[in-house]
Chain A
Amino acid sequence: MSDVRLALRQVRFTNKAFWRNPASAFFTFAFPLLFLVIFTSFLGNGTAAFRLASGVVVRIKQSSYYVAAMAAFSVVTACFTNVAMSVTFQRDAGILKRTRGTPLPGWAYLTGRVLHAVGVAVLLVIITTAFGIASYGADLPTGILLLEFVVVVIVGGMSFAALGLATTAAVPNADAAPPVVNAIILPLLFLSGIFFPVDSTSPAWIRTVGAVFPVKHFADAMRAGFYGSPFAFEWHDVLILAAWGLAGLFLAARFFSWEPRK
């Protein structure tokens, strides 16, 4: 069997186990939809004013704003949070150590994890979008926008999964995985316009955090891909995202541990 087929085979088995784990499947899928309902209920399905860097004020439906934001959130959950936690769990349980003693190449195992996470992320984006359209009449991207949107989802998914793998190196054991992973991602989600808008009127330090870390670039690109003009789709957002992904890949290759930490 070729190595690529081995990696794809890993996806199949990872997927089987994923759907049978009630905690990971439920939270990964339920949270984005739950949050979408909560935010739109709180804020009403009215319009939100959003000041772009150019000074132009955009008015969009609250629901539309949150459909794109929750789609971004779901990708981060499926790829970053879920990969970091479940791979740490597998490492702690000795599953990675056992795998290491077989002829399966390490990269095939890790590629399988990344591809599975991206697959789940794509499914989540489709569900979130469909839910947004059906419940709130949010608008669906079409044409070139749809293409840009898909590119952002794939690049974002792979980058966050690579960062999730790298994060496992910083987590001492499975018990520490939820606090460490959440400590990294929750502040970023708040500061990157996922839970409430961050625009040119936001405090400077928040905008700096957003400019440095990948979540805001991802959220911006998702929003631009979702609505199009006047939100400008910036390829540099995608490039910064990809750069973070490569950095994650490098760190994972350098520091990833296949054995439980004692």
Chain B
Amino acid sequence: MSETAIEVTGLRKSYGDVEAVKGIDFHVDRGEVFALLGPNGAGKTTTVEILEGYRDPSAGHVRVLGHDPARHERALLRRVGIVLQSVGVDPYLTVRETVELYAGYYPDPRNVDDVLAVVGLTEKRDTRVLRLSGGQQRRLDVAIALAGDPELLFLDEPTTGFDPGARRNAWEIVRNLTALGKTVLLTTHYMDEAQDLANRVAVLSKGEIVAEGPPDTLAGRDEMIARIRYRVPQGSPPLPEWGQMRLGNGTYEMIAEDPTKMLHELTSWALERGVRFETIEVMRPSLEDVYLELTDAEAGAE
């Protein structure tokens, strides 16, 4: 069994004159959570739908669990679970009936009640789908994708519209899946989601991958210059000339090429004078900062 779950080389997709995906390469290892990040229109969903078999690539080579997804083989479909964006289920079936319906399509499905427990819909099991809230319907989507006990899960923006608590729960579900050795391909708008869940991320912008790597080190983020921000109480002695910027309200911020050394200087100065910093923090560019930089802040226009 190959160690690679998904392999994409030179993938292109055009709709008429518009090239939505402009020759991308990436791979996803088995047991890995891989996140595709990017603003709307960057080509995330097109890429994922090619991997799911809904779209044919215009050019390039795609392998999913050793199969060509465009051939729509049952042998492949039996091993994957798909959470699409905004697709419905029959509104007149109950939650349990819905999961039971889909579980029946797979040779070795999970227990329906277990799946409902995993996504937290046990109490809603006898409720008709049309009476579920948006977040509950999304959890049902995840339940349906899990019903066949897939090796590989596609999650296209799985937590859009969730409240913060529901998102934490969804993340817990994904973490539990990886603990079972499942592979997950995730697309998301939320940087904290990618940061929390993904082993590796790829940032798509205008149909191209502009950065790829673990979220902590994406685009050299870990080596970027840090900033130190601190706040001194009123009536403190004047600060030495460190090159700090005054942000007002006793708060200052400065660039620190060597944050360890700089912190030492700051705290030594404060201890000698009996000053207590009200806050002090070292800030690296967040995944979101890097992302906005990489995608040219075009996300803000959406």
- Residues of A at the B interface (CB closer than 8 Å) are 1, 6, 9, 13, 16-18, 20-21, 90, 93-95, 97-98, 100-105, 259
Contacts and interface: CB of A to CB of B under 8 A. Distances in A.
Given A16-B97, A95-B87, A95-B88, A105 B104 contact: no
Give the top 8 A-B pairs by smallest Cβ distance, nearest first: A94-B87, A93-B88, A20-B92, A17-B92, A101-B82, A103-B77, A104-B105, A103-B74
B88 A94 contact: yes
A97 B54 contact: yes
A93 B92 CA distance: 13
A104 B107 CA distance: 11
Contacts of B80: 101
B279 interface: no
A262 B107 CA distance: 34
Given A17-B92, A98-B144, 19 more contacts: A9-B104, A13-B90, A16-B92, A16-B93, A16-B97, A18-B92, A94-B86, A95-B88, A97-B54, A98-B88, A100-B54, A101-B52, A101-B82, A102-B105, A102-B106, A102-B148, A103-B78, A103-B105, A104-B105
A132 B92 CA distance: 32
A101 B84 contact: yes
B247 interface: no
Given A13-B97, A16-B93, A17-B93, A101 B53 contact: yes
Nearest to A18: B92
Given A97-B54, A101-B53, A103-B77, A6 B84 contact: no
Interface in B7-63: 52-54
Interface in B83-122: 84, 86-90, 92-93, 97, 101-102, 104-107
Nearest to A92: B88
B87 A98 contact: yes
Contacts of A9: 104
Contacts of B87: 93-95, 97-98
A101 B76 CA distance: 10
Contacts of A101: 52-54, 77, 80, 82, 84
Contact of B102 (A94, A102, A105): A102
Contacts of B90: 13, 17, 90, 95
B148 to A, nearest CB: 7
B229 interface: no
Of A9, A93, A98, the most chain B CB neighbours within 10 A belong to: A98
A94 B137 CA distance: 13
A95 B89 contact: yes
29 contacts: A6-B105, A13-B90, A13-B97, A13-B101, A16-B92, A17-B92, A17-B93, A18-B92, A90-B90, A93-B87, A94-B84, A94-B86, A95-B88, A97-B54, A97-B84, A97-B87, A98-B87, A98-B88, A98-B89, A98-B144, A101-B77, A101-B82, A102-B106, A103-B74, A103-B105, A103-B107, A103-B148, A104-B105, A105-B74
Contacts of A95: 87-90
